[in-house]
Amino acid sequence: MKEIGIVICNFNKEDAVLECIQSVLESKYTDFDLYVVDNGSTDHSVKKIRETYRDRLTLIENKENLGGSGGFNTGLRVAYEKGYPYLMCIDNDALLDENAIGNLHLFLEEHKEAGIAASKIYHLEQPEYIQQFGQKIDFEHYCTEVPHLNMIEDGNMPEYLYVDSVAACSLMIRREVIKKIGFMPEENFLYWDDTEWCYLCNTAGYLVASVGNSKALHAMGAKKEAVNTFPTYYAWRNWITFFLKFTPEKDLEHMAETFLSSVFQENYEGLHNGERCRAKTVMLALDDAMHGVMGKAGENRIFELDFNLEQYQALFERSEKFYMEENGHAVLAERIRGLARMCGKNVKWLPEPDKDAVVISLCDSIFKIEDMALKKVYIDIADCIFATEDDMLDVINYNYSKRSFLFMMKPVFLENARKLRKKWAEKKPCVS
Residue 165 reports pLDDT greater than 80: yes
Q: Is residue 350 part of a domain?
A: yes
Report the distance separating Cα 286 and Cα 294, nearest Å.
Answer: 11
Domain C-terminal end among 192, 218, 244: 218
> Do 254 and 115 fall into the same domain?
no
pLDDT tens, residue by residue, 268-298: 999 999 999 999 999 999 999 999 999 999 9
190 and 285 share one domain: no
Same domain, 63 and 41: yes
Final residue before a domain boundary, out of 172, 192, 218: 218
Does 390 fall in a domain? Answer: no
Domain boundaries, position 264: 230-307+395-425
Residue 328 has pLDDT above 90, yes or no: yes
Instruction: Output the domain CATH number for residue 62.
Output: 3.90.550.60
The answer to whether residue 131 is domain-embedded is: yes
Residue 389 in domain: no
Query: Which own/partner contact pairs does 380-386 have at CB distance under 8 Å and 24+ positions apart?
Result: 381/329, 381/332, 382/269, 382/273, 383/273, 383/275, 383/307, 383/308, 383/311, 384/269, 384/272, 384/273, 385/273, 385/311, 385/312, 385/315
The predicted-structure confidence for 376-395, as pLDDT tens digits, reads as follows 999 999 999 999 999 999 99
What pLDDT is attached to residue 432? 53
Domain co-membership, 295 together with 420: yes
**Average pLDDT for residues 356-382, to the nearest whole number?**
97
What pLDDT score was predicted for residue 147? 86
The answer to whether residue 125 sits within a structural domain is yes
Same domain, 260 and 174: no
pLDDT, mean of residues 295-318: 94
Which range has the worst mean pLDDT, 59-63, 88-92, 155-159?
155-159
Sheet holding 348-349, edge to edge: 348-349, 321-325, 358-363, 377-380, 385-386
pLDDT at 155: 87
Q: Which of 218, 243, 261 is the last residue of a domain?
A: 218
Tens-digit pLDDT profile for residues 216-249: 999 875 445 568 999 999 999 999 999 999 999 9
Q: Both 299 and 335 in a single domain?
A: no
DSSP H helix total and E strand total for the chain: 12, 17
Task: For residue 161, tell me if it sits in a domain.
Answer: yes
Identify whether residues 150 and 246 lie together within a single domain: no
Indicate whether 106 and 32 sit together in one domain. Answer: yes
Pick from 113, 108, 124: which is nearest to 23 by CA?
124
Q: How far apart are CA 121 and CA 93, in angstroms?
A: 12
Instruction: Kindly report the number of other CB atoms within 10 A of residue 160's CB atom.
Output: 20
3-state secondary structure 212-235: EEEEEEECCCCCCCCCECHHHHHH
Does residue 388 fall inside a structural domain?
A: no
Residues 30 and 139 in one domain: yes
Whether 298 and 366 share a structural domain: no
387 found inside a domain: no
Pairing of strands 86-91, 170-174: antiparallel
Residues 293 and 182 in one domain: no
Are 414 and 268 members of one domain?
A: yes
Residue 129 is classified by DSSP as B
Number of domains within the chain: 3
